[in-house]
Chain A
Amino acid sequence: QITLEESGPTFVKATQTLTLTCTFSGFSFSHSGMGVGWIRQPPGKALEWLAVTYWDEEKLYSPSLRTRLTIAKDTSKNQVVLTLTNMDPLDTATYFCAHRLGDGFDNWGQGLLVTVSS
């Protein structure tokens, strides 16, 4: 059974850097094809893909946020860390991590609401 859980601060101030951790179980980056992505959703709005990291060290980023995002995996800890620099109130959203399957995501964490104050 695959499970994922997001952790990190729920409040940050503008200009600060957000660091979120996704801790997962039920799969391993040691296996070919594995990937974990981050997706966010501002209150009442649509989903927005942010980044994904794969078993083979490949990393992809949203073109609109590439300069502010970093994703990294720790295979030994079964964790994926996302950092987003220079936070703005517009970055207020629920941040999800999810297990990648094919061209989509089949298992999601419950999400973490992050509020950015000005």
Chain B
Amino acid sequence: QSVLTQPPSVSGAPGQRVTISCTGNSSNIGAGSDVNWYRQLPGAAPKVLIYATNNRPSGVPDRFSGSKSGTSASLAITGLQAEDEADYFCQFYDISLSGYVFGTGTKLTVL
């Protein structure tokens, strides 16, 4: 089981704002580890949405934003669109394990 916990599902209506949480602990996110966020459309490979907690790669709309507080990180999506319906994963690099860790994943449903 991952050390990064995400809600199994979230939902929102088109145009609304939703947030997806990624809960870690004082040894990872709480200790300052950066978090990356990925979106995975059905049947496709993951695509990075946010890197280093709050940075967007070129081409990712500013509807997507990342933040961190305490032992949790969050992905916010504003102006929800039908094409945002996908699975979302958080991820960080665990220095103590010398490895990459993915969150449990969240399925976003656009109502």
Residues of A within 8 A of B (CB): 37, 39, 45-49, 52, 60-63, 96, 101-106, 108-111
CB nearest neighbor in A for B91: A104
Residues of B within 8 A of A (CB): 2, 33-34, 36, 38, 44-48, 51-52, 57, 89, 91-93, 97-105
Give bound CA distance, A105 to B92, whole Å: 10
> Which residues from A are CB-within-8-Å of B104?
46
> Which residues from B are CB-within-8-Å of A110?
44-45
Are A46 and B52 closer than 8 Å at their CB atoms? no
Are B48 and A103 closer than 8 Å at their CB atoms? no
Q: Apart from A46-B103, A47-B46, A49-B101, what 6 extra A-B contacts exist at CB < 8 Å?
A: A47-B91, A47-B102, A63-B97, A104-B91, A106-B51, A108-B47
Taking A46-B103, A47-B89, A60-B99 as contacts, is the C-beta distance between A103 and B46 under 8 angstroms?
no
Are B105 and A46 closer than 8 Å at their CB atoms? yes
Taking A102-B52, A103-B36, A106-B57 as contacts, is the C-beta distance between A46 and B47 under 8 angstroms?
no
Are A103 and B45 closer than 8 Å at their CB atoms? no
Of B38, B46, B104, most buried by chain A (CB within 10 Å of CB) is B46
Are B99 and A103 closer than 8 Å at their CB atoms? no
Taking A103-B36, A104-B36 as contacts, is the C-beta distance between A49 and B102 under 8 angstroms?
yes
Are B2 and A61 closer than 8 Å at their CB atoms? no
> Which residues from B are CB-within-8-Å of A52?
100
CB nearest neighbor in A for B33: A103
Taking A46-B89, A46-B104, A104-B36 as contacts, is the C-beta distance between A61 and B45 under 8 angstroms?
no
The 7 closest A-B pairs by CB, nearest first: A104-B36, A103-B93, A108-B45, A49-B100, A47-B102, A46-B105, A106-B48
> Which residues from B are CB-within-8-Å of A103?
33-34, 36, 52, 92-93, 100
Give bound CA distance, A94 to B11, whole Å: 26
Are A104 and B57 closer than 8 Å at their CB atoms? no
> Which residues from A are CB-within-8-Å of B33?
103
